[in-house]
Amino acid sequence: MAVSIQMRGQIAVVTIDNPPVNATSHAERLGLHNALHQTTQDEAVKAVVLHCAGRTFIAGADITEFGAPPKDPNLPDLLAQIEAAPKPWVAAIHGTALGGGLETALVCHYRIADGAAKLGLPEVTLGLIPGAGGTVRLPRLIAPDHALEMIAGGKPIAAAHALDLGLIDKIAQGNLLDEAISLAEEATKRPTPPALIERPVLAVTSQDTWDSAARKITARARGQTSPIAAITALKNALKLDAPTALAAERALFLELRESDQCKALRHIFFAERAAAQGGKIKGVTAGPLSHIGVVGGGTMGAGIAVACLLAGYRVTLIERNTEAADAGRDRVHSTLDQSLKRGVLTGVAHLHTVENFQISTSYSAISDADLVIEAVFEDMQVKIDVLTALEAAVRPDAILATNTSYLDINVMAAALMRPSRVIGLHFFSPAHIMKLLEIVVTDSVDDQTTATAFAFAMRLKKIAVRAKVGEGFIANRIMSAYRREAEYMLEDGAMPWDIDTAMREFGFPLGIFEMQDLAGLDISWAMRKRLNATRDRTQRYVDIGDKLCEAGHFGRKTGRGYYDYSDNGNARPSAGTRALIMAESQRKGITRVQISDKAIMVRILGRIRSEAAMLLYEGIARCADDIDVVMVNAFGFPRWTGGPMFHASGQD
């Protein structure tokens, strides 16, 4: 039974129990409809508390039903009936009240949440806008500029912030349900507040906040339509009467629900969750982890250490000498301070996290570590030396992980005494922020190590994708392929800024050349030099990147790369790069031709797709959906296309 009723004195507690996240499925809507009817009819009931079993309040409409024809009762009608109920309803919120879940809470006459709860309208992230009155009711409860950020930005807010904004009435100090029942009892003694739909919209607290939120949201949307539609819906709510605005919201919601972007965003939502299946191995459970060692306190190592600290692990960072250790400590502390400022950590959690961190120049400090991740210089011999020393220093059952981006982990594992405990954990920079983690399984790794790595990723709140060993695994292998194609286009007729513009217009946050300038051209140069001896000489090779590096143009950090950079960091097309490219085309006897934006993207997408096909054929990637997940989360492939494989399937 998805919905049940228990009496607590004169208060009816309506409990939704619809795992995993109490989404408003058809059965749940029916159950709520019946509960509304029953509690309205029953004279013994004076007020109702709406409460959810399990880990969360209602996390939204049931996304799995979106592809099918809607079934009555629909959520907007049901919510209108709850709002008009003759007895007060109190929403008792724990976990997350999202989308249709928050819209349900909005039609209740009071809202109480536990301190850890989060509330939000994330529909835009699924290519939608709220479709059950959220855009119309929210600006009648909180200032429209804040409503704009919630509706068009899509980011959930913490309970304390919700209380400040007036979105909830109270934060429970003790047991949520008991306090919700007390609130309901008090509510029976006073007049029920008017339904939100009958109240006027509130005044904007600050036109500046509204303008800057609208500007930011529009810029961030790039090609995505739902955030812009959300701004439109909210503007409607501010200027139209409530019934008309509700009808307009519903029409826009239904239109968006059928859009390609919504289908693509739903695809990537489920693909991200399905990626975790790569770590499910029958009969195998993950081992416990509490102490994590990280070797190397550079940007990557420090970021990994922070990611582990934020997940509540005890972390020891190892550096070569005192000077490097001091620099590593500073990096970790300043990143934790930023997390405190951004509200990711509370003051108490920050203190606790700092206490969990230590730094040492001796491997003896990690002798009891459960997992050690090396993040040292990207060189096979350096990594093997570090892993060999680690193996001698840690417990025999400890897991050793390498954060290599390209190198052959089978070779590393073979050099060790316990290859079954060696695995690749390929983080993306900044490691404490980027969601993707490639888990690279070697030929010799045991199942428990793999399962533990996936459990570790889940605790870090990362999206883990399983990959097999192969130059660049999934992400960097595909990136190298489309970067190569982009380099061919330089010789064939395009300039870096033409290619970057086409990629941005397609929806990438950055083009491939500006991205390389940002990362530093010396990184890929080092890799090309490493591969030079074994490179296939029959394959076309573009020297432009090497020549830029030979001239000391390493990108943004040296003020020159594919672009020139002014002192304030602004990029402009470089005359020197242009001349170099023209000279290279001439040297190779290539007649340059105009390449349109469309043709640029056809070549880039085609290259991504063919490399992805090879990865699937070689078994390096598990499935096409994993490739979508990697590309969306590693390189900003526009999420609303569903990723390159889903996008390509729509073009066939």
- Residues binding ligand 3H9 (CB under 6 A): 20-21, 23, 56, 59-64, 75, 96, 98-100, 103, 122-123, 126, 128, 130-132, 134, 270, 273
Task: Give least dist CB 280 to ligand 3H9, A.
Answer: 11
User: 270 or 377, CB closer to ligand 3H9?
Assistant: 270
CB of 265 to ligand 3H9, least distance (A): 10
SS3 track for 234-283: HHHHHHCCHHHHHHHHHHHHHHHHCCHHHHHHHHHHHHHHHHHHHHCCCC
Burial-class residue 215 by CB neighbours within 10 Å (0-12, 13-18, 19+): exposed
CB of 605 to ligand 3H9, least distance (A): 28
Considering the complex, state which of residue 249 and residue 487 has its C-beta at the smaller distance from ligand 3H9: 249
Q: Looking at the DSSP assignment, which residues form a beta bridge with residue 357? A: 315
What angle, rounded to 10 degrees, do the helices at 100-107 and 75-83 form?
20
Q: Which of 28, 83, 123, 249 is catalytic?
A: 123
Least distance in Å: CB of 123 to ligand 3H9?
5
Q: In the bound complex, what is the minimum distance in angstroms from residue 64's beta carbon to ligand 3H9?
A: 5
Residue 218 has what DSSP assignment?
H
CB of 541 closer than 8 Å to CB of 455? no
**CA–CA distance from 82 to each of 26, 108, 163, 244, 616 (Å)?**
16, 7, 23, 19, 51
What is the three-class DSSP state of 455? helix
103 is catalytic: yes
Q: How far is the CB of 188 from ligand 3H9 (least distance, A)?
A: 30
Measuring CA to CA, how many Å separate 484 from each of 176, 469, 528, 548, 603? 57, 21, 12, 16, 11
Cβ nearer to ligand 3H9, comparing 212 with 285: 285
Q: How far is the CB of 275 from ligand 3H9 (least distance, A)?
A: 10
Tokens of 75: 């959520």
Measure Cα distances from 200 to 121, 146, 565 in Å.
Answer: 21, 16, 51
167 SS3 class: coil
- The Cα angle at residue 216 between residues 245 and 209, in degrees rounded to 5: 70
Least distance to ligand 3H9 from the beta carbon of 278, Å?
Answer: 13
Q: Which of 121, 50, 132 is nearest to 91 (CA)?
A: 50
Residue with Cβ nearer ligand 3H9 (135 or 480): 135
Cβ proximity to ligand 3H9, 121 vs 306, nearer residue: 121
Between 24 and 480, CB nearer to ligand 3H9: 24
3-state DSSP assignment of residue 220: helix
Tokens matching residue 433: 């922020």
Q: What is the signed CA dihedral for 556, 560, 564, 570, rounded to 10 degrees?
A: 20
Cα 119 to Cα 630: distance, rounded to the nearest angstrom: 28
H or E element in which residue 373 lies? strand 371-374
Residue 355 annotated to the active site: no
Q: Which residues contact 541 (CB under 8 A, 6 or more apart)?
A: 535
Q: Transcribe 580-635 into DSSP letters.
A: HHHHHHHHTT-------HHHHHHHHHHHHHHHHHHHHHTTSBS-HHHHHHHHHHHH
Residue nearer to ligand 3H9 on the CB measure, 60 or 296: 60
> Which lies closer to ligand 3H9 via its Cβ, residue 18 or residue 516?
18
Provide the minimum distance between the beta carbon of 60 and ligand 3H9 in the complex, in angstroms, as a whole number.
Answer: 2
Measured from the CB atom, the residue of 128 and 176 that comes closer to ligand 3H9 is 128
Query: Rounded to an integer, what distance in angstroms lies between the CA atom of residue 226 and that of residue 596?
Result: 28
Nearer to ligand 3H9 by Cβ, of 121 and 542: the residue is 121
User: C-beta of 162: minimal distance to ligand 3H9 in Å?
Assistant: 16
Minimal distance in Å, beta carbon 138 to ligand 3H9? 11
Kindly state the tokens that stand for 439. 């888990």
The nearer residue to ligand 3H9, 277 or 358, going by C-beta atoms, is 277
Q: Which of 595, 579, 597 lies closest to 587 in space, CA to CA?
A: 579
Distance CA 22, CA 10 (A): 25
- Do residues 609 and 648 make contact, with C-beta atoms less than 8 angstroms apart? yes
Catalytic entry in 28, 43, 65, 103: 103
C-beta of 37 vs 273, nearer to ligand 3H9: 273
The residues with which 13 forms a beta bridge, in sequence order, are 6, 49
Structure tokens at 192: 């029920």
Determine contact, residues 262/126, Cβ cutoff 8 Å. yes
* Nearest approach, Cβ of residue 445 and ligand 3H9 (Å): 24
Which runs of consecutive H residues, i.e. helices, occur in 138-259?
144-148, 159-165, 176-187, 207-221, 226-239, 242-257
Catalytic residue list: 103, 123
